[in-house]
Amino acid sequence: MSRIKISNGRIILRDSIIHGTLLVEDGKIIAAIEGDADFADARIIDAKGQYVSPGFIDIHVHGGGNHDFMDGTTEAFLKVAEKHAAHGTTSMMPTTLTADKQGILNSLEVYEQAHAQNKYGAAFIGLHLEGPYFSMNQRGAQDPRYIRDPDPKEYLEILEHSQSIRRWSAAPERKGAIEFGRILCERGILPSMAHTDAIYEEALEAFENGYTLLTHFYSAMSGVTRKNAFRYAGVIEAGYLHDALDVEIIADGVHLPPPLLKLIYKIKGPDRIALITDAMRGAGMPEGESILGRRSDGLKVIIEDGVAKLPDRSSFAGSVATADRLVRVMRDMGGVPLTDVIRMITHTPARIMKLDDRIGTLAPGMDADIVIFDDQIQVSRTILKGKD
């Protein structure tokens, strides 16, 4: 039986912060108590007045520490998990890029191998397939060679190949995408709208057929457009108009400037917003040249100004954020109370992925995934299921 007592901390609960003690036993939260508490035979961790928070949950991440999940090696998966754990992430969804069918199948196999070996990094909570069923016009930095319509023969083979897929992002206006979403829902997989040129009515149909999340809100996503002199609302407007639609945002302060961070928070609120890094291999690395996607044939990019850019600097090519940066940006640039910021990177993503009975809050019975950080959101300690 292992016991941990985290004392002298500012403990972040769902709606409040208390000055006190967090008790852990056998990898589970026992209690969060104001003031001190006796806890026999416990290892004591002095939080030294710092914040004690649920571990950060990143449901959309591609890489970090000069590794990418598309590298196709267990080493890459494990190194990415370790790099982000150092920045407070305790659970993550490894995310792919557009690829051919064999590339997707290979990613599934490597994920399962890495999942079995992952002891020191952020826990893997399922695979997120981002593409290849996207709008060519909204592809962003996704490889156009692999963009296509959903093909039942292809995606059913992929779904039969592995039980590890928990989420799949697609453009709902593509031919066959609505039926694709229904099949995902039947299998307990979350369909998410992404890289899409859908108009409002198409987004509404998708929502009614299970697409309840918007992937990196605003990025590679339609807003108001004009066709034959008439204006049409887009996916962005659907996200605002429908309270039951969840959104995830890259809160690095670059992909979305402060006014948009404030607007999204004002309209959607912390219970419908998940903060994501969407980080590529450059996360946690110095500025300079890098690669988006596979090391062998990925897209060359430049990291500068806190973001990855295409070599001609015409557009962004990926995020290099870590979770602690998201928290700092939403608090300092978005003007959001810290308790709400933490909810957006803990409880809300856990709820979206139907894991909130296990992770996302410092409540009795929950996994002891804990991060300790100071007033500048600098992480001093990450605890994974009671182990650090």
d(CA 193, CA 172): 6
pTM value? Answer: 0.97
- CA-based end-to-end distance of the chain: 16
d(CA 121, CA 132): 28
d(CA 258, CA 356): 29
Largest CA-CA distance found in the chain, in angstroms, rounded = 74
Q: Does residue 193 contact residue 171 with C-beta atoms inside 8 Å?
A: yes
Residue 298 has what pLDDT?
Answer: 87
- At 141, the pLDDT band (50, 70, 90 cuts) reads confident
For the cut 80, the answer to whether the pLDDT of residue 90 exceeds it is yes
Helices first, then strands: H and E counts in the chain: 10, 24
pLDDT, average across residues 185-192: 98
Residue 82 has what pLDDT?
Answer: 98
Percent of the chain predicted with pLDDT > 90: 94
> In sequence order, what are the residues at sequence separation of 6 or more whose Cβ sits closer than 8 angstroms to the Cβ of residue 304?
287
d(CA 75, CA 272): 34
Residue 297 has what pLDDT?
Answer: 85
pLDDT, average across residues 285-291: 94
Percent of the chain predicted with pLDDT > 70: 100
Helix axes 74-85, 101-117, angle to 10 degrees: 60
pLDDT, average across residues 216-227: 95
Residue 143 has what pLDDT?
Answer: 87
Q: What does 174-187 look like in DSSP terms, one character per residue?
A: STTHHHHHHHHHHT
Residue 13 has what pLDDT?
Answer: 97
Q: Is 10 left (phi over 0), alpha (psi -120 to 50) or beta?
A: beta
Helix (H, G, I), strand (E, B) or coil at 2: coil
pLDDT, average across residues 48-69: 97
Q: What's at 291, amino acid-wise? A: I
Q: What's at 193, amino acid-wise? A: M
Express each pLDDT in 245-267 by its tens digit. 999 999 999 999 999 999 999 99
Strand 165-170 with 127-130, pairing: parallel
Helix (H, G, I), strand (E, B) or coil at 206: helix
d(CA 14, CA 366): 13
pLDDT, average across residues 10-17: 96
For the cut 70, the answer to whether the pLDDT of residue 1 exceeds it is no
Residue 194 has what pLDDT?
Answer: 97
pLDDT, average across residues 326-354: 98
Q: Is 120 exposed, middle or buried (0-12, 13-18, 19+ CB in 10 A)?
A: exposed
- At 122, the pLDDT band (50, 70, 90 cuts) reads very high
Helix (H, G, I), strand (E, B) or coil at 335: coil
> What are the chain's domains?
3-52+375-383 (2.30.40.10), 56-359 (3.20.20.140)
Residue 347 has what pLDDT?
Answer: 98
Helix, strand, coil percent content, the chain, rounded in steps of 5: 25, 30, 40
3-state per-residue secondary structure call for 181-240: HHHHHHCCCEEEECCECCEHHHHHHHHHCCCCEECCCCCCECCCEEECCEEECEHHHHHH
pLDDT, average across residues 71-77: 96
Supply 190's token pair. Answer: 């979350």
Strand 67-68 with 63-64, pairing: antiparallel
For the cut 90, the answer to whether the pLDDT of residue 140 exceeds it is no
For the cut 90, the answer to whether the pLDDT of residue 314 exceeds it is no
Average of per-residue pLDDT values in the chain: 96
Higher pLDDT among residues 296 and 364, named by residue:
364
Strand 28-34 with 17-25, pairing: antiparallel
Nearest to 87 by CA among 324, 329, 383: 324
Express each pLDDT in 32-45 by its tens digit. 999 999 999 999 99
